[in-house]
Chain A
Amino acid sequence: MNLGMSECGQSSMFDAAVFLTILLVASSLLLNLYDPSIQAEDVRSFQYLSMYTKRLAHAAFSSTVPNASYLDSYGEEVIRKDVSVQEMVVEELLLMSSGVPERNFVGPGRYNDRIEWVLSSLMNESNFNCTLRGELQGSKVYIIGSDNIQSKKVERASYHSEFILPEENLRVSMVLDVWREAPG
């Protein structure tokens, strides 16, 4: 038998290097694919935030406070007892639309202070912030917070409650935004 020599032969090292490279790529893909928290965390986080916002809105809007006050258009103090957050928001919107300035609802024991108290006590141990606004016939009023979260990078869920006041035939909306600074 005559064995000839050729330079076209492939080294087994080359095969091994190719095999190593392929498995390295496969391993890194596998590690990323099998880390589902990367993809699922956002979804789970948003689901939780949505559910939390809904529960918070239900609890906060129906909660009452023993007393809350505001100054009417003549500067007289009006005190309401066992008034709910929803009633305070609606009354404030109606009064503001009739010319009572926003500052008449601000201060210790006033409507805005009481509403903020209810919301902050319900959110006490969470790491969320909230904004509450009311809308009456298209005009928006921020009861708690301001619209500056629009410019921030936040994770946010909103609860929108809308109803019609039969006596005045007016459409009223309450929007509760619950948010936190987005990580990173």
Chain B
Amino acid sequence: MVSLDERAVAGTFEELSSLLMVGVATLLFLVSLAKGFVSYSRYQEENDRIGELESLCESVLSYEPLLYHSRKGQLDHSKLNEASREMLEEHLGKTWNSFHFNLTLIDVSPYEEKYIWFAGEELPGSSLARTALLPATVSNQYGEHHSVLLRITVWW
């Protein structure tokens, strides 16, 4: 036989606070799961972009029509012209159609005659861009090997 008295505590006092704790815990877990997923996705995306830029750099440094005696990273000054610029743009444009790029050659050698070359598109004003500076050389028929920097910019 169940007897009634006034000593019992209403179940809602305990259950509501338990429910609140469970709710808070679940919410925290879901938030951290979402945050982790977002940061992982961003990291993957960033990694892919760095990977794409790195592959592009390798392709430029080993693009045969520009090389001096087929030496990787050593460009031939006589091949840095309008025709090779178009060839390079076409070659790289076909391979990497997921982003835009441009390439600027900066001659940092102590020689008075400086080589300047540009390929690719102009960078629009507002773009998320990544830039790499590659050490290389430009060689000519006089036995001069100019130290140059290739500035490669990619944007999406």
What is the interface of chain A, defined by CB distance below 8 A to chain B? 1-3, 11-13, 15-17, 19-20, 22-24, 26-28, 30-31, 33-37, 40, 44, 51-52, 55-56, 58-60, 62-66, 82, 84, 114, 117-118, 121-126
Q: Which of A17, A33, A121 counts the most B-chain CB atoms under 10 A from its CB?
A: A121
Q: Which residues of chain B have C-beta atoms less than 8 A from A13's C-beta?
A: 14, 17-18, 21
CA distance A170 to B18 in the complex (A): 81
Q: How far is the CB of B14 from chain A (nearest CB, A)?
A: 6
Q: How far is the CB of B75 from chain A (nearest CB, A)?
A: 10
Judged by DSSP, the binding face of A is helix
Whether the Cβ atoms of A37 and B135 lie closer than 8 Å is no
Known: A60-B147, A62-B74. A3 touches B29 (CB 8 A): no
Whether the Cβ atoms of A19 and B36 lie closer than 8 Å is no
Q: How far is the CB of B119 from chain A (nearest CB, A)?
A: 19
Q: Name the contact of B28 in the complex, choosing from A16, A17, A24 (C-beta under 8 A).
A: A24
Whether the Cβ atoms of A124 and B108 lie closer than 8 Å is yes
Given A1-B1, A16-B17, A66-B144, 5 extra CB contacts under 8 A: A15-B18, A22-B25, A31-B35, A34-B40, A121-B147
In the complex, whether B149 has a CB less than 8 A from a CB of chain A is yes
Known: A55-B61, A55-B73. A16 touches B133 (CB 8 A): no
Q: How far is the CB of A76 from chain B (nearest CB, A)?
A: 23
A-B pair count, CB < 8 Å, reads 125
Whether the Cβ atoms of B18 and A23 lie closer than 8 Å is no
Q: Which residues of chain A have C-beta atoms less than 8 A from B43's C-beta?
A: 36-37, 40
Whether the Cβ atoms of A55 and B135 lie closer than 8 Å is yes
In the complex, whether B146 has a CB less than 8 A from a CB of chain A is yes
CA distance A55 to B36 in the complex (A): 36
Known: A63-B109, A118-B147. A27 touches B137 (CB 8 A): no
Q: Which residues of chain B have C-beta atoms less than 8 A from A52's C-beta?
A: 135
Whether the Cβ atoms of B2 and A82 lie closer than 8 Å is no
CA distance A59 to B31 in the complex (A): 49
Known: A34-B40, A59-B73. A122 touches B147 (CB 8 A): yes
Known: A26-B29, A82-B144. A121 touches B111 (CB 8 A): no
Whether the Cβ atoms of B145 and A35 lie closer than 8 Å is no
In the complex, whether B83 has a CB less than 8 A from a CB of chain A is no
Q: Which residues of chain A have C-beta atoms less than 8 A from B35's C-beta?
A: 31, 34
CA distance A24 to B28 in the complex (A): 7
Task: List the A residue with the shortest CB-CB distance to B106.
Answer: A124
Subset of 5 A-B contacts with CB under 8 Å = A20-B21, A31-B32, A34-B36, A52-B135, A114-B110
Known: A13-B17, A24-B28. A35 touches B137 (CB 8 A): no
